[in-house]
Amino acid sequence: MTKGSRADDLMRFSVAMPESLLMEFDQLVARRGLAKNRSEVVRDLVREALVESRTSLPGTVVMGTLTIVYNHHSPDLQNKLHMIQHDYCDSIVSTMHVHVNEHTCLEVVVIRGVSELVQAVANMILGTKGVKNGKLVLATVEG
Ligand code: NI
């Protein structure tokens, strides 16, 4: 902060980057819609990077949202997923199950705890044989 400025005042700085990268960045800005300009998209990306950096620090309390997709006909898969969730019932806040079609299920598992535990539980679920794909999103809950 410079003298006389407030924490949320907008500060200008210039950024140098290769033209090809800037052109791709402008395409990203365009995809984010008419209400967005370069500055807003840079701010969004910086905020995302800061959240990612904070939530990956061991010991940081986070909320994780894990989304997985699986075929419920996979042998023993539902039972294994159920067992993991009971083993970590103190960390797993909620599970939503969606029957997508005849074969496919989607589950959203909300996990609370320190970053390394949330990631470990998510990796256990993601690594269970038969889980087709999934993604963990971490959110900070402090500050
Ligand atoms: Ni289902």
33: confidence class by pLDDT, cuts 50, 70, 90: confident
DSSP code for 26: H
40: confidence class by pLDDT, cuts 50, 70, 90: very high
Q: What is the average pLDDT score of the chain?
A: 92
Instruction: Classify residue 113 as exposed, middle or buried by CB count within 10 Å of its CB (0-12, 13-18, 19+).
Output: buried
Q: Which amino acid is it at 24? A: E
Q: Which amino acid is it at 110? A: V
Beta strands in 13-130 (DSSP E): 61-71, 92-99, 104-114
77: confidence class by pLDDT, cuts 50, 70, 90: very high
Ligand 1 centroid distance, CA of 132 (Å): 14
Ligand 1 centroid distance, CA of 108 (Å): 12
Q: Say if CB 66 and CB 128 are below 8 A apart.
A: no
Ligand 1 centroid distance, CA of 98 (Å): 6
Ligand 1 centroid distance, CA of 63 (Å): 24
Ligand 1 centroid distance, CA of 31 (Å): 34
